Amino acid sequence: MSEHGQHPSAVLTFKSSHDFDTTIARLKTALERVGAVVFADVDQREAAELAGLTLRRTRLILFGNPKAGTPVMAANPHAALELPLRLVIWEDDAGRANVDYLDVTQTLGPHYAIAPDLLAPLQRVAALLQTAVQ
């Protein structure tokens, strides 16, 4: 268990070398460079504040590339529950930015019987994100 709580093994955490806002900008730029689309950017801290609650800086980004995701969903419509891809940028108690990425390649194969050739484009995402935050 990490210092901030337990999470499934399919959740990969990368510590950013950059501040919170720079981390978000670098991630979005890296995604756009490879043809991914940012479908949503949800400020979860802002939502908490609107409800009268407090939360560390936390942003959920939904993203994907229809060229990679569509064949997966065509192969198994239930796999759409795993797509679009998502990551969360959150600030720890020391003010460092962290990025959590749900690596769907760990679930799409075993749980949805998606063929390895369809997973290949998605397997490159984790390395892309890690490079973006270094």
| pLDDT, tens only, 12-41 | 999 999 999 999 999 999 999 999 999 999
User: pTM of whole model > 0.85?
Assistant: yes
10: in domain: no
125: in domain: yes
6: in domain: no
39: in domain: yes
18: in domain: no
Q: CATH number of the domain at 79, please.
A: 3.30.310.70
Range of the domain at 92: 26-132
80: in domain: yes
- From residue 5, how far is each of 23, 30, 36, 67, 116 by CA, in Å? 22, 28, 30, 34, 31
Domain count, the chain: 1
Interval 84-94: pLDDT, tens: 999 999 999 99
1: in domain: no
Sheet containing 97-102, strands listed edge to edge, beginning at the edge strand earlier in sequence: 11-15, 97-102, 85-91, 58-64, 37-43
Instruction: Describe the crossing of helices 125-132 and 20-33 by its angle, rounded to 10 degrees.
Output: 140
